[in-house]
Amino acid sequence: MVSPPKTLEALNARIVQCDLCPRLRAHCTEVARVRRRAYMDWEYWGRPVPSFGDPEARVLALGLAPGAHGSNRTGRPFTGDGSGDFLYPVLYDAGFASQPKAMSLNDGMKLRDLWITSVGRCAPPGNKPTPEELRNCAPWLDQEMTLLRNLRVVVCLGRIAFDGLLAHEQRVGARLLRAEFPFGHGNEFTLPSGIKALTSYHPSLQNTNTGKLTKVMFLKIFMRARELAGLE
């Protein structure tokens, strides 16, 4: 049996090499081969996307999965697509990010007191990973939560991310009733582990272009996360 990694850097190295889901690996590889016309000059990442941020973070932002032409292209969460274009300016305004724009692995972006990850590590067809694929990815989140030793708050970006966090709590021994943890934008919970959870609509174009999620709404979530994490 392989021993668990001792650092987040070592965990990321294992995530990048994961090949447990043939459908996802085939999809990511094909997207990287064909590419979108706007990115024909890019060499796509095309592998499972590692997490990103400050290893000493008190706050974790938990998303769904990489975008086919965003993170699957750039190799960094929420970098290079519409969701990231909405997220990073808010993180900058909230004091978590060093700059408001995330373009590539070499753009100089640094995070302070924040770690970004997702419940799925490969871009899924139609943006919909299967339950089995999410289960295959679940141990990565479990190990990550253990290695984030200062973690106090998890911001869940969308219902699937929140479901993934609750499933993690159950895997580590918590007894909870899902009905007591309804998803909704701005909901706040104390989990059995003691971690604080904040739920937000996902910053997808479907939500931001329609006004379902505004910058003011999103910034309020991350400012509350700072407060709960004792960063004020």
Collect the ranges in the chain with pLDDT lower than 70. 1
Contacts 24+ apart (CB under 8 A), 1-5: 4/143, 4/146, 5/143, 5/147
**1, two tokens:** 């049996």
Residue 3 lies in a domain: no
Residue 133 lies in a domain: yes
Residue 127 lies in a domain: yes
- Range(s) of the domain holding residue 59: 8-228
Residue 109 lies in a domain: yes
**135, two tokens:** 């289960």
Residue 45 lies in a domain: yes
**231, two tokens:** 């960063």
Residue 1 lies in a domain: no
3-state secondary structure of 17: coil
Q: How many domains does the chain have?
A: 1
Nearest to 121 by CA among 11, 40, 4, 2: 11
pTM: 0.96
Q: What is the dihedral of CA 126, 127, 131, 136, to 10 degrees?
A: 120
pLDDT given at position 82: 96
pLDDT given at position 1: 64
Residue type present at position 18: C
**197, two tokens:** 């959870």
- Report in angstroms the alpha-carbon separations of 36 from 33, 80, 107, 175: 9, 13, 21, 45
pLDDT given at position 151: 98
Residue 2 lies in a domain: no
pLDDT given at position 49: 98
pLDDT given at position 118: 98
Q: CATH no. for residue 84?
A: 3.40.470.10
Residue 106 lies in a domain: yes
